[in-house]
Structure formats: C-alpha cells, structure tokens
Amino acid sequence: MRSTLDGQRIAVLGGSSGIGLATAKAAQQAGAKVTIVSRKPPAGFAAHAADLADPAAIAEAFDTIGEIDHLVYTAGEPLELMTLNDFDRDRARSFFGLRYFSVLDAVKAARVTTSITLTTGIAKDRPGPGWAVAASICGAVEALTKALAIELAPLRVNAVSPGVVRSPLWGPDAEQLYTDVGRTLPLRRVGEVEEIAHAYLYLMTQPWATGTILTVDGGTTIA
Ligand SMILES: NC(=O)c1ccc[n+]([C@@H]2O[C@H](COP(=O)([O-])OP(=O)(O)OC[C@H]3O[C@@H](n4cnc5c(N)ncnc54)[C@H](OP(=O)(O)O)[C@@H]3O)[C@@H](O)[C@H]2O)c1
C-alpha cells in the first residue's frame, strides 16, 4: 500500500495555472515526477503542450507520457454564465467540451495505474441565477466520477469540489468578488489554490477512497 507521492508519476491536465499548478507544485515537493499538460505549460516541470479540446492531441500526449500512477484533471476555460433568457444550445453544449467530454477522452487515453482525480465544483450544490449550465457540468462530473469509479475499479476515481478560490479563472479584477463572497462564508474568506491542492494530494494518497467527491469550500454549502 503506497500512501506517499515520492517517486510517483503524475500528469496534471490543466496544470499551468491556478488549482492545477498549485497541485503540480505540491506533488513535486512531495517527491512526485509531475508532467503538466496544457496549451502553455510552465517551465520547471516536465511538460507537454496540448489543446485538450482536441481528442487527437490528448491521445498524442499520453502516447508521449506513457504509463503514470496518477491522473489529475483541472483544465477549464473561464466560465461564461447564461441565464435561461440567453440560452443558446450550441454555446451550452460547447461549455461541456473541456470540462466533461475531454475528461472522458483523457481517461480513455491515459495509462493510469493508481488514481484519477477530477474537478467539479459547488455550483451543483449552490447554483445562483445564470448558473444552470455550469451547475449541470459540475453535476455531470460528479456522476461521471462515481460511474468511472465502478467501471475502472480497482483504479480509484475521485473528484475535488472547490468553492470560490482565488485564481486566474476569475480574471484580474476579481478582488471585489472575493471580498463579497468571502464575507458570506463561515470562514469569512474565499479559498487559496494551495488549500485546494491539498485535497488532490489527499485523494491521490488515500488508498481506500474511490467515488469520493471531496468538497473544500470554507463552509459555503452549510451556510
Ligand atoms: N477557481 C475557482 O474558484 C473554482 C471553483 C470551483 C471549480 N473550479 C474549477 O477548477 C478548474 C481549475 O480552475 P482554476 O481556478 O485553476 O482555473 P485557471 O487558473 O484558469 O486554470 C485553468 C487551466 O486550464 C487550462 N486550460 C484551459 N483551456 C485549455 C485547453 N483548451 N487545453 C488545455 N488546457 C487548457 C489552462 O492552461 P493553458 O492556458 O496553459 O492551456 C490552465 O492551466 C476549472 O475546471 C474550474 O471550473 C474552480
């Protein structure tokens, strides 16, 4: 039974920024051999540049990377909200591309021995107006996580469900949003990417966790 990441091979898809980058750094500090896959992977890691919207690019990335112990998927473009009034079927469908269908492409293409950790979010539990599609993606990833945990067992499949976290996802002018959201939470602040990274490391190293959706949200969903 291995509960350490020392020497483990990890691919972080979407690891060039925010939650994924923090996870890549924390895993590397724990002794893992980390490969980042994204369109613009950063220096300091093994890297494979790929647009994860393209299934062929995903397959090619895993051909190059070879066998890994853990797959982490955090890729996501900035979210666009859409009220029912603005509903557009093609745009809504496109939102599922990177966060849902590319996850399936990646899980299918990867040669993983130990665990897969996906990313959902608490929008599925606490949606606001305009969040119908985004919340649905989160719900779909939660269901996908549990279904894959059954289909791929004994490979472990889990997901992290963050609340609002300070990251480039929200753009450069999000301080007011962080303040406003943070004020409403039991812990009185939004999260930091390093705090969420901790959850990915936990799920990678907890040998009896599968089908788990690990919420880390400063108390958002109980407030
Ligand atoms: N931040 C939050 O408050 C929060 C809360 C709940 C859930 N989440 C979810 O957590 C995930 C990560 O969020 P984050 O805050 O870390 O966002 P982020 O800082 O914007 O990072 C997004 C990552 O996705 C990659 N990416 C985007 N489009 C890509 C593409 N076509 N191909 C390959 N990689 C692509 C980016 O890399 P490149 O630009 O190099 O391609 C980047 O590494 C997202 O799914 C988000 O919805 C975030």
Structure tokens at 190: 């939004």
Ligand 1 centroid to 138 CA: how many Å? 14
- Write down the pTM of the prediction: 0.98
Full set of structural domains in the chain with CATH: 9-217 (3.40.50.720)
Question: What is the percent of the chain where pLDDT is above 90?
Answer: 98
Q: How far apart are CA 78 and CA 154, in angstroms?
A: 34
- At residue 94, the 3 state secondary structure works out as helix
- Band (pLDDT 50/70/90 cuts) for residue 17 is very high
> φ, ψ for residue 185 (rounded to 5)?
-95, 150
User: Residue 170 Cα, ligand 1 centroid: separation in angstroms?
Assistant: 10
CA torsion 48-161-207-74 (nearest 10°) is 0
CA of 40, closest atom in ligand 1: 40
**Separation of 8 CA from ligand 1 center, angstroms?**
23
Ligand 1 pocket test: which of 23, 35, 74 has the largest number of ligand atoms within 8 Å of its C-beta?
A: 74
Give the closest residue (by CA) to ligand 1 atom 19: 18
Looking at ligand 1, which residue's alpha carbon is closest to its atom 11? 74
Specify the residue for token string 């500090």.
29
Q: Are 75 and 58 in contact (CB under 8 A)?
A: no
Residue nearest to atom 7 of ligand 1 (CA): 121
Q: Comparing 3 with 92, which gets the higher pLDDT?
A: 92
The yes-or-no verdict on residue 199 having pLDDT over 70 is yes
Compute how many other C-beta atoms are within 10 angstroms of the C-beta atom of residue 65.
Answer: 18
If residue 204 lies in a helix (H) or strand (E), which one and from where to where? helix 193-205
Nearest atom, ligand 1, residue 41 CA: 40
pLDDT of 80 strictly over 90: no
Q: Write out pLDDT tens, residues 110-161.
A: 999 999 999 999 999 999 999 999 999 999 999 999 999 999 999 999 999 9
Separation of alpha carbons 151 and 221, rounded Å? 29
* Nearest alpha carbon, ligand 1 atom 24: 75
- Mean pLDDT of all residues in the chain? 97
Q: What is the mean pLDDT of residues 90-117?
A: 97
Angstrom distance (rounded) from CA 113 to CA 155: 7
R_g (Cα) of the chain, nearest Å: 17
User: What confidence score (pLDDT) does residue 1 get?
Assistant: 47
Query: Tokens for 64?
Result: 């190059």
